[in-house]
């Protein structure tokens, strides 16, 4: 059967009816009804427009107008050498790979997992860990008000399932690699990840989205993370997809008592990228650190949408986001902090700093504080600036070339984010990506 | 070493230096004094290659080369160093990294091997001792959060590390307490030798108690109006600049109309 080209709401409905018959887990009635509810919700909501407050600065019309088809049957296989550049040096361990949204066993290494850790594809988990999945999947990322979440929920097919059992500590990062490669027509993939970290556990998850070529496609990603009490979880989002790809992703974190979550995002690729980070500090005394670096050139558009929800007393949150924008690119930082009525003694801080490298680059930065408790500390600050000419002259007057002075200042700007990364192989990898960006962006050619 | 002839410099359409002449030979120490806004920093910045200052007339010859068309980094590599009146804070760039880049850029230009890490650290530590710098300096970002005195000492420390031929100090003594002033002077004096020259911009005769100067020049309204030996500094401290300011100001007005 020819795959349906999905463009307007009707064709998405049509695509859905074709998809749902053979979708993984279509035999599970709870999942069927969630998918059906989600597609209904999607058709009611439709794609958001700039009239929608949450999308004021990001026009996703190119996504809404484009026509996408679901990834076809017939697995594309890849060799280890083809993905070598996407495997950070020193991360030799646990890896699960998806190609065009589907699990690829040959490249995944899930054999000798330590005791207390499960990593599998969602499809496998629907079979082996039915109860856990039913208990958690879709329970946190609420699709009622978000069309992209609804779309993902309706069309979710595969993704990663990570389960860290009570008391298990895993130092080694778990690498989730999503590769998209040319199809005949632009495809949409809807990766859906579920990470469960039980009480007193510790884990590091690296979500990594890459392309093999410069093709047009749409990654619509949802990751739900549930962190038990007294647990430590680090999450990395590395987005380095094709400059013509669209990426909308949501990280939804549910935090238990005294848990500690760190989220790092590095956005480099994509034509339109929207990265939603939404932790809910549900357990008393929990903390989250949300760091991000986004670097755009050309006509890229990168939107960082934070929604930090303080739902319990004595929780701390820290956001530090930095943007480097070149060319005619646009960036958005929308930082919402919501402090619920009972969340007394909240301590929330938000910082967004941006560097514009060209006159035509633009950033919109918007803090949004919604505070319903009375005993809280919330601070926010944003800056937009250029490379400091005085600093450039100072460095040159000591013998450095203009190029190296600029590179040094840029690197210094980004290093504040990179320094927070405690996992060496990841920090080294991200540092090299950032340095490559400086070089490839030909920042050093148009000087003088 | 350095010869400046009839130098005219403009900033944003305002003429600041108006026909300045100055000659400095290797081994000499020259001091420039003058009222606020007379163009002292402008001279220092122009020598270091700041592009916001436009040279409209005259020439600057340094070791037989025309300086005006050289980039700031080339000048630095040729041995010109300016200690800034207001050193720039550079968050996120550690002093060690900065100094190593700078030293090795200069060494490479002079055809020397870059320093190996151990040699570099050894060299840097000895200069730190000379200027009484705290050990944590190397880890700290360039000038970030430094007190005024620390910034000035750090400039002289950089100068000691880079071993330039022409050292320009723009009000390095301003705002220093007597102990810091002694340390800075010690650093400068230890670097004096027959191949090196100093151009010291200052408001106060005080510094010249510690650094013996060969010549004192008075800069008023963008011109050197008087030159003399170190005794001139004492005279200035006593009488100020008013006599020149009035007469020169009138002369200039008369000349312009
Ligand atoms: N970048 C600039 N833009 C505009 N005007 C400038 C600039 N730099 C200097 N000037 C002006 O040029 C004149 C000379 O300034 P300069 O800094 O050279 O004086 P100075 O002798 O060093 O004074 P001070 O003793 O206060 O340090 C002043 O009137 C100053 O306002
Ligand atoms: Mg000055």
pLDDT tens-digit readout, A42-99 = 999 999 999 999 999 999 999 999 999 998 766 677 888 888 889 888 886 899 999 9
What averages of pLDDT result for each successive group of 10 residues across chain B (257 residues)? 95 92 95 91 95 93 93 96 95 92 91 90 92 88 91 94 95 88 92 95 87 92 90 80 62 42
Same-domain status, A404 and A266: no
Q: What pLDDT, in 10s, does the model give residues A241-277?
A: 999 999 999 999 999 999 999 999 999 999 999 999 9
The residues near B46 (Cβ < 8 Å, ≥ 6 apart) are: B7, B9, B17, B53, B55, B60
Residue A124 lies in a domain: yes
pLDDT at A1 over 70: no
C-alpha span between A126 and A258 (Å, rounded):
30
Residues above pLDDT 70, as percent of chain A = 97
C-alpha span between B17 and B38 (Å, rounded):
8
Atom of ligand 1 at shortest range from CA of B39 = 18
Task: Tell me what pLDDT residue B256 has.
Answer: 42
Sort out which chain B residues have CB atoms less than 8 A from A411's CB and list them.
Answer: 92
pLDDT band at A441 (very low <50, low <70, confident <90, very high): low
Sort out which chain A residues have CB atoms less than 8 A from B76's CB and list them.
Answer: 396-399
Residue A367 lies in a domain: no
C-alpha span between A57 and A362 (Å, rounded):
11
Distance linking the first and last C-alpha atoms of chain A: 59
Take residue A107 and report the two structure tokens written for it.
């490249």
C-alpha span between A30 and A137 (Å, rounded):
11
Residues above pLDDT 90, as percent of chain A = 82
Q: What pLDDT, in 10s, does the model give residues A289-335?
A: 999 999 999 999 999 999 999 999 999 999 999 999 999 999 999 99
Task: Tell me what pLDDT residue B134 has.
Answer: 87
Cβ of B112 under 8 Å from any chain A Cβ? no
Task: Tell me what pLDDT residue A90 has.
Answer: 81
Same-domain status, A84 and A232: yes
A62-71 burial, b at 16+ Cβ within 10 Å, e below that, comes to ebeebebbbb
∠ CA B39-B41-B47, rounded to 5°: 105
pLDDT band at A447 (very low <50, low <70, confident <90, very high): very low
C-alpha span between B3 and A36 (Å, rounded):
85
Helix (H) or strand (E) holding B90: strand B90-94
Q: Are A241 and A247 in contact, with CB atoms under 8 Å apart?
A: yes
Q: What pLDDT, in 10s, does the model give residues A181-237?
A: 877 789 999 999 999 999 999 999 999 999 998 889 999 999 999 999 999 999 999
Residue A305 lies in a domain: no
Task: Tell me what pLDDT residue A325 has.
Answer: 96
pLDDT band at A448 (very low <50, low <70, confident <90, very high): very low
Mutate to test the pocket of ligand 1, among B10, B42, B52, B225 (most ligand atoms within 8 A of CB): B42
CA distances from B210 to A331, A348, B174, B189, B205 (A): 55, 53, 14, 9, 10
Domain boundary among the residues A283, A315, A340 is at: A283
Residue in A293, A389, A394, A398 to test binding to B, most B beta-carbons within 10 Å: A398
What is the least distance, in Å, from the CA of A399 to any CA of chain B? 4
Q: What pLDDT, in 10s, does the model give residues A161-196?
A: 999 999 999 989 999 999 998 777 899 999 999 999
Same-domain status, A84 and A209: yes
Domain boundary among the residues A253, A283, A313 is at: A283
C-alpha span between B72 and B16 (Å, rounded):
20
Task: Tell me what pLDDT residue A91 has.
Answer: 80
Task: Tell me what pLDDT residue A10 has.
Answer: 86
Q: What pLDDT, in 10s, does the model give residues A331-368?
A: 999 999 999 999 999 999 999 999 999 999 999 999 99
Report the number of distinct structural domains present in chain A. Answer: 2
Domain boundary among the residues A251, A283, A315 is at: A283
∠ CA B226-B227-B229, rounded to 5°: 140
Take residue B212 and report the two structure tokens written for it.
């013996």
Residue B76 and residue A390: Cβ atoms within 8 Å?
A: no
- Round the average pLDDT of chain A to a whole number and report it: 93
Query: Minimal CA–CA distance to A325: which of A367, A386, A238, A272?
Result: A386
Residue A325 lies in a domain: no
Same-domain status, A17 and A143: yes
- DSSP bridge partners of A305: A276, A334
C-alpha span between A346 and A315 (Å, rounded):
5
Residue A311 lies in a domain: no
Q: Are B80 and B164 in contact, with CB atoms under 8 Å apart?
A: yes
Task: Tell me what pLDDT residue A112 has.
Answer: 80
Residue A149 lies in a domain: yes
Task: Tell me what pLDDT residue B254 has.
Answer: 41
Task: Tell me what pLDDT residue A74 has.
Answer: 60
Q: B36: Cβ below 6 Å to ligand 1?
A: yes
Query: Minimal CA–CA distance to B15: which of B221, B219, B248?
Result: B221
Complex ipTM tops 0.90: yes
Residue A440 structural domain = 389-448
Residue A374 lies in a domain: no
Residue A269 lies in a domain: yes
């Amino acid at each position: 059967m020819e795959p349906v080209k999905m463009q307007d709401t009707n064709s998405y409905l049509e695509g859905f009816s074709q998809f749902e018959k053979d979708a993984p887990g279509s035999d599970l009635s709870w999942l069927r009804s969630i998918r059906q509810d989600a597609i209904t919700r999607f058709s009611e909501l439709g794609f958001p427009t700039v009239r929608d407050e949450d999308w004021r600065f990001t026009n996703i019309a190119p996504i809404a107008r484009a026509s996408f088809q679901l990834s076809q049957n017939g697995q594309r296989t890849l060799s280890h050498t083809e993905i070598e550049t996407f495997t950070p040096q020193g991360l030799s361990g646990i890896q699960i790979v998806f190609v065009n949204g589907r699990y690829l066993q040959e490249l995944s290494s899930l054999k000798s997992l330590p005791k207390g850790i499960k990593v599998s594809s969602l499809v496998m988990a629907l079979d082996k860990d039915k109860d856990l999945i039913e208990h958690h999947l879709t329970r946190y990322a609420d699709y009622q008000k978000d069309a992209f979440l609804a779309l993902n929920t309706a069309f979710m097919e595969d993704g990663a399932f990570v389960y860290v059992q009570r008391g298990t500590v895993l130092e080694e990062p778990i690498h989730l690699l999503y590769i998209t490669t040319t199809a005949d027509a632009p495809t949409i993939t809807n990766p859906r990840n579920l990470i469960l970290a039980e009480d007193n556990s510790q884990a590091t998850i690296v979500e990594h989205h890459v392309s093999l070529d410069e093709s047009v496609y749409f990654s619509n990603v949802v990751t739900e993370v549930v962190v038990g009490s007294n647990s430590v979880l680090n999450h990395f989002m590395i987005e380095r997809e094709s400059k013509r790809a669209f990426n909308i992703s949501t990280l939804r974190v549910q935090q238990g008592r005294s848990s500690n979550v760190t989220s790092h995002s590095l956005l480099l690729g994509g034509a339109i990228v929207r990265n939603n980070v939404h932790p809910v500090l549900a357990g008393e005394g929990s903390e989250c650190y949300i760091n991000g670096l986004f670097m755009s050139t050309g006509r890229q558009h990168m939107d960082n949408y934070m929604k930090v929800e303080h739902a319990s007393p004595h929780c701390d949150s820290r956001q530090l986001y930095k943007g480097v924008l070149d060319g005619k690119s646009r960036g958005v930082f929308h930082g919402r902090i919501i402090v619920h009525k009972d969340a007394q003694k909240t301590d929330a801080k938000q910082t967004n700093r941006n560097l514009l490298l060209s006159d035509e680059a633009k950033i919109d930065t918007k803090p949004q504080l919604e505070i319903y408790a009375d005993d809280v500390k919330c601070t926010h600050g944003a800056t937009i600036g250029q490379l400091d000419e005085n600093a450039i002259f100072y460095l040159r007057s000591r013998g450095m070339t203009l190029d190296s002075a600029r590179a040094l200042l840029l690197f210094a700007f980004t290093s504040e984010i990179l320094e927070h990364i405690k996992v060496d192989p990841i920090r080294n990898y991200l540092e090299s990506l950032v340095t490559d960006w400086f070089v490839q962006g030909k920042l050093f050619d148009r000087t003088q | 070493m350095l010869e400046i002839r009839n130098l005219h410099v403009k900033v944003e359409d305002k003429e600041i230096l108006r026909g300045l002449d100055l000659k400095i030979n290797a081994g000499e120490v020259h001091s420039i004094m003058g009222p606020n806004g007379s163009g002292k920093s402008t001279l220092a910045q122009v020598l270091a290659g700041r592009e916001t200052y436009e040279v409209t007339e005259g020439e600057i010859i340094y070791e037989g080369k025309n300086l005006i068309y050289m980039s700031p980094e080339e000048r630095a590599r040729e041995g010109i160093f300016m200690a800034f009146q207001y050193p720039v804070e550079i968050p996120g760039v550690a002093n060690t990294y900065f100094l190593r880049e700078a030293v090795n850029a200069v060494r490479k230009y002079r055809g020397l091997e870059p320093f190996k890490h151990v040699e570099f650290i050894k060299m840097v530590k000895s200069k730190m001792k000379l200027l009484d710098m705290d050990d944590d300096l190397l880890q700290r970002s360039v000038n970030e959060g430094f007190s005024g005195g620390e910034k000035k000492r750090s400039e002289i420390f950089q100068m000691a590390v880079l071993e330039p031929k022409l050292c320009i100090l723009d009000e390095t003594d301003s705002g220093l307490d007597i102990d810091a002033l002694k340390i800075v002077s010690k650093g400068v004096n230890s670097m004096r030798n027959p191949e090196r020259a100093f151009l010291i911009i200052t408001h106060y005769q005080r510094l010249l108690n510690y650094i013996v100067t060969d010549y004192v020049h008075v800069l008023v309204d963008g011109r050197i109006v008087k030159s003399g030996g170190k005794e001139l500094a004492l005279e200035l401290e006593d009488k100020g600049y008013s006599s020149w300011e009035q007469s020169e100001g009138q002369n200039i007005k008369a000349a312009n109309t």
